[in-house]
Amino acid sequence: MSIVIAVDGTAASGKGTLAKKLAAHFGFHYLDSGALYRLVALGVAEAGKDPHNEADAVAAAKALNCARCGDPAIRTAEMGVGASIVSAHPAVRTALLDVQRAYAAKAPGAVIDGRDIGTVICPKATAKLFVDATPEVRAHRRWLELAAKGNPPEEAAVLADIISRDERDKSRAVAPLKPAEDAVLLDTTDLGVEAAFAAALAIVEPRI
């Protein structure tokens, strides 16, 4: 098996930033699995369909075009909510399994961030991190990101979104958000980017 670093965690915990920095550090491939679910939500929205309808969401998952992973249209608060709705459908998760496992097999290694990478997608990952921070700190970070793009929603609305998204992600029947038994927890509440990266590296490096 090639090297896989699984970086799971809550919304806006900093897991994406950490995963990208780890990939750059080790010269590994990087996959943001949340972008896949966001793309499914965007596909459903563009087709004028309902994300709660499993068949509509599966159709969008099967038509997924990974080349659009960088599309800014998936980065909105609406697509974050849409992603957490479509991702609760078991058949959507199944439809996205192969693309994620193919990524995990890339040489010389891959860093994948998400919610179920260490538990479901790559249970034998070389190293597993579970990143979290208080909801208030995460909401503030997400609000800063949205504000940088202009016209942000109220911070209280961002916090409410994050809390309900965590709740939906943790309570779904299939692949719920939870740390793998062998994941190392990393709380980034009081850590800036560089301190969080140093902490992540200290956990991951001895396992590589």
Residue 128 binding ligand C5P, by CB under 6 A: no
**108, two tokens:** 């010389």
Could you tell me if 38 and 71 are in contact, meaning their C-beta atoms sit under 8 angstroms apart? no
Handedness of CA 21, 75, 8, 123 (dihedral sign): negative
In the complex, least distance from residue 2 CB atom to ligand C5P, rounded to whole angstroms: 19
Could you tell me if 51 and 100 are in contact, meaning their C-beta atoms sit under 8 angstroms apart? no
Binding mask 42-81 for ligand C5P (x = CB under 6 A): --------------------------------------x-
Handedness of CA 178, 9, 192, 195 (dihedral sign): positive
Residue 165 binding ligand C5P, by CB under 6 A: yes
Residue 34 binding ligand C5P, by CB under 6 A: yes
Residue 37 binding ligand C5P, by CB under 6 A: yes
Touching ligand C5P, residues 74-103 (CB under 6 A): 80, 83-84, 87
* Count of CA atoms in the C-beta half-sphere (13 A) of 170: 11
In the complex, least distance from residue 80 CB atom to ligand C5P, rounded to whole angstroms: 5
Residue 31 has φ and ψ, to the nearest 5°, of -125, 130
Q: Note the residues at the interface with ligand C5P (CB under 6 A).
A: 11, 33-34, 37-38, 80, 83-84, 87, 114-117, 165, 169
